[in-house]
Structure 1
Amino acid sequence: MSAQAQMRAGQGASAQAEGKAASKANPIVSALHQMAVSVLSEQLREMFEKADDILFDSAEKARASDEQRLYLDTMRIVRVQRNKIVQAFQEALQAALAGIGEDEAENAAGRLDDMSQWSLEDGDVLEERIAVNNMQAKASSLYAHELVELQRRIARLAEMTGAGLSPESMSPQRIIHAFQNSMRDLPVDFPIKLVIYKLFDRVVVGRLSEVFVGANQLLAVHGIEPSLDAPTPARPESRRAPRGLPQDSGVPSWAGKLDRATMGAFGAPATGGAGMSAMGAGAVPGGLAARQAGHLAPVGGAGTYTDSMLAQDVAQILGSYEHGRRPQAPAWLPPENVALVARMFDAYYRDPRLPDNLKPVLARLQLPMLKAAVADPRFFHDPNHAARRTLNDLFEMLLQFGSAEAAPSPQMVGELQGLIDAMVQAFNLDPATLRESARPEGVDERTAEAFLREQEEMQQKKNRARVERVRRIVAHEIRRRIGERPLPSGVLRLMLSGFGPLLCLDYIRSGVNGASWTETMRLVDRVLDSLRPDAGRHAEERAAEEAELVAAISRRLAAIGFSEERLKEVLSGLLQAYLELVEAGAGRTGAPAADTVDEAATAAAPLPPEKELQGLLSILLVPGSWFTLWEPVAQTKHWVRVKGYYPVQNTVMFGHYMEERFLQLRATALATALVDGSAAPIDPSPELQSAIARIGELSFERVVDPVVWTTVEGRPGQ
């Protein structure tokens, strides 16, 4: 072994030792690292499983025999070396997450930007660095929102624990650099190594969101919210003004960050623009312009100022910004306002969770939102502005459609299309009238930065609604498992504060049918069974089973970051219940302990229908969720959002999708409407469809409430 290889081996051993020390000091960090290593290792194995198909397909498409031989040679090398690469990657990843070699990675990236060093580099080394740098830039751009939230959560964790934990500890740079390190000692020619990098980029880098979203959700389960004081990462170079073009002093700093990387998602082939900034090349995308003309142009007004003319003005404004120039815009159309709306949509299109086939749906609202922003200066100042709030909610809904495992039903797609049509109609203004009446001032730098920051924070909060729903699902499933049996308060604490977070992560990873969820629920059942007095069992046998059960629970909770102190806290109630059972069994003639459950009370009585209904409705009625509600008297369909659900009062409050008016119904009336199909959630999530199906099986009083809208003050509204 060479001296350099020995040095790397020594660094790997040192990294493992330091990683173990860090894990022992901070179990949440250990859980984060374990999750990242597990997910990425599995992705790497999937990469190797798919490698034969990908490489064989590439070989068939290759035009030259040398290129064909390269792919086939890579296929053979991958088959032989896959286990070695996976093991080396796991070791390098542990070291990277622990911060070992951090300075080396950063210095390497810095040298790549220094053109004076290029002539001194070996050609293969330089090409490898370019490939690695491109992967890092791609990942940083694709997962910008998840990364900002994760960095702020890690910063908050560091503040809470006092650990010297860097916000960049789970950055794409460290993950990709770990893979680069795992390839160093691979005895292959560089062209083969480069093909393997391309495989890694295609299969693993394209799925890094699983790591970052999982890390955010794990930290959220532990109650660690983002720290707003944490620094945000630098944006990739592709999002800055083009090099070589002087920046006009009149161009705001944020206006030069319109992202042309979103181009090509849809639209005319000439420009392929996905968002408003895609029109910056100076021509209106034909496909997008046609959609806008078909959906947005006002009736009548031939020969006046039209949506197509407005789109051309927008294209000229964004084209000037793209080239670092101050736009020459009409007096009634402030270019800063146009650029801010473009940045808003660019952020939506960049989100990797939004599929390409849903971007045209969002695009239909581009011009209506721009008109709303020009007509009402409050658009940029008020996060709760009707147009802005509605657009953000629609974006969240599209993410749910994009993340659904199964394709949404045609009825649900129709509901979404109807909602889009209603939004377009509500916010679409006559451009000719707007040009005559609008005299807004351009947005100042401070307002623009605040607007962009609010939009960024809004997108970071999207995972929180899902986490809240998962928590409600878990709470209901635990409640169903317990049924009506009374439990000691300490055991309830274990169920809610111990099994609750564990089941949340199980659900996020694999759902209610996954092996991890099933294993945890088996532990829940074992705990409930262990609380039943059993006179036929020996004390020694029972004690051994209880000890084994406590150890199994401890292992599962420690694996998700529970510290020793917290483990003692959540398990103390179960241990106390076991002691009280022993005391009650030894002194049957005396009164049992007050907090002990007798044999009759431990029977698994199911939840009564009213409590089962409350739990299922709590899963459906998460604040902000969208529903359709059919009003038979007026023959009208309403799109409403949940404002609040109040189980004790049997009440649910909805808000109109854009106006400040509200609708109050009895929860049982909504349940009736869900069962008969006159109400439905606009969400393809399988857990919601399952909850509605279970509601239909319950025996509860079917009731119907009239649709009566009220104002904020409670007065009757339209």
Structure 2
Amino acid sequence: MAIQFTNSTFDHIDIATSHRDEILLELIDTATTTATRQLEALAIRLAEALAQEARIEPDPAAAQRYAASAGLLKKSRFPFCFAASDRIGKAFRAEIAALGVAAAHVEQLPSHSLAPDLEVDKKLSLLKEGHAIEALHAERFTALNARLGHLLGRDALSAAESPFRAQVVLDAIHEAWCDFEASKAAHHLVYPLLQSENCADFGAIYQALNTILVKRAVLPNLVVPRAEAAKPAPETNDDPVTSRLRTMFSQDSAPGPVKDRPLGGALPTLFHDDQVQVTAARNELLAHIAAIQRSGAGPIGTPSAEEGATLLSHILSTMPAEARSRENLHTIDLLIRVFDAVFRDAGMPPEMKALIGSLQVPVLKATLKDKEFFFSDDHPARRVIDLLGRLAVGWDRKAGANDPLYQTILRSVKRIQSDQRVGSFADALADLEAWVGREESAEMQALASSVVSIVRQEKTRVALKQAKYEVALRVGTGEVAAFVETFLEEKWVTVLTLAYSVKDEKPQAAGNAVKTMDDLCWSVKPKITMEERKELIARLPAIVENLNKWLDAIRWNEPERVKFFDDLAKCHASIVRAPMELSPERQLKLALSVAQKAAERRLARQAGRPPEPQPDEFDRQVKELGRGAWLQFTGKAGMKVKVRLAWVSPLQSHFIFSTAERVEAISISDDDLAKSLRQGRAAVLSLPGFVGRALAEALHADGDASFNDPAAKAA
């Protein structure tokens, strides 16, 4: 990251050793104090993470170790906090001493070694997580290293040289855990859990250190461009809903250049506090959720179908002031709309609404950590809710709780509830999609014969459509004789349909049939010059031969065939016998007459052609249908049947619906399906993208001003 200075050159200023050591000691004390204030909350989060690992660990012995460690940390977190504070302070002193500065006495503490493979994994894990934390607070961390370098009379420190890098704290917490936990078998349990959501807020630490240095006049006018400002804005093709969501969340932490304010008596605000405040508010909200779950206060059980999104509403109404950031309020408000849409879904059984509704807290935690839930259809948590919403509609209450579909959904919900991390959604999604894949594979085997037949029919329909189009191009000019027009529309369409149907096996067939049609049309046009008539006479045998070959192929042997060739021969004879040596004026009049008659015929055909129907909302509904969607059809006797879209033809012109037992129920074309929807004989119960449609509905219903003051809405 580029660092800018107000001076044209960087001149190191000699700082007295005693003054420098005094500043370094103050930095150590400030960093230690700022980190220590967060240790109790950190211990609570680690205890919960250990408990979650115990719930999902398949090995009973390992699960017992996780559970025992979680219980120990919950009961005795203050001794752990004391050990961690001591380790962190001494680690900072050791790092300062490693820079060649004798700022304070360094007391060496014994370190704990794990098994060789675990030791390597620990070092790599903490190094990687440390880099991720530093990247999250890159502006403050970079500014701190520049100021430390200036204080020490050298260039800006690299991330690896910084005594306050995140890995120092992570290592200290791991060592403190080993001091605290007497059982060596549990020493390796904590370091994999030291991720940003479970660790200290380094933004606050780096801000406090920069504040001390600016107060001490160490590069007080340092300008640090924000990381976002250094990158060009990515090009997006967002739809209106996504664009509005991006605007909404970008306003929660608006980007902009960050500049230290000059000293003016009071402590300067080194950076915009938005990211620090957002992170702190997020941690406060997570702690609030954990407190509710521990105490059992509020409706934290499985909600009934009538209750709606009461879990999220309770969290919103009881959250402390420190957690009420715009980002948190927007997140909860939008999720309330999503889950309210689940509970309002008329096609979903109440039992399924309750199961999906029980995921309110896990989804909230996932979105607090990753806002891509609102922007990306591929977010694991969003895909789980979308898939559960689609599958839930298809569950038949008569099948009961022992139904395989019910058991699959229940198993996935319990898995997410027991391990409320984003990764648990990915695991549950994999299980759900595997089950769906097995069901669809078995279903396709049952429908195989119908699919083959429909694909063949669709291929013929496509060929017919192309054939009619090619004929219409020639007939539409009005230049073709009337009897030839009739022949092309009634018989040559069949020829072209056959040719296009075998295009894959005989690629030249369609081209030959089209050329034969063009030759026929050319042959019945007036031939004014002797050269044109000679060409007609020379080409006629081949034209007639090709016509007969194709008519034999479609087996047209009726008397009308004889009459057509008789009319064709008379037409050719009249063309050849027409008066010769016409004057230029006569040729022009004849050409104009032919063109006028052609135009009149073309206009007459257009006037008699019915207008093309315009697609309506029901046609659009049909186009949006995807495999797995559920529809309800109503029979003539009023009997309703719920069916699932099992197969869509390659060109989306035909649909096969099956029952929950994989029995083919309805096979219908796109036009007939749109007609059934239009007449109310069919209704769509579920469509893909449940979450996206709920968000679009929420934003559209509330208008632009709805989310401008989330605090007022939550009050």
TM range (shorter): under 0.3
TM-score scaled by length of structure 1: 0.27
TM-score scaled by length of structure 2: 0.27
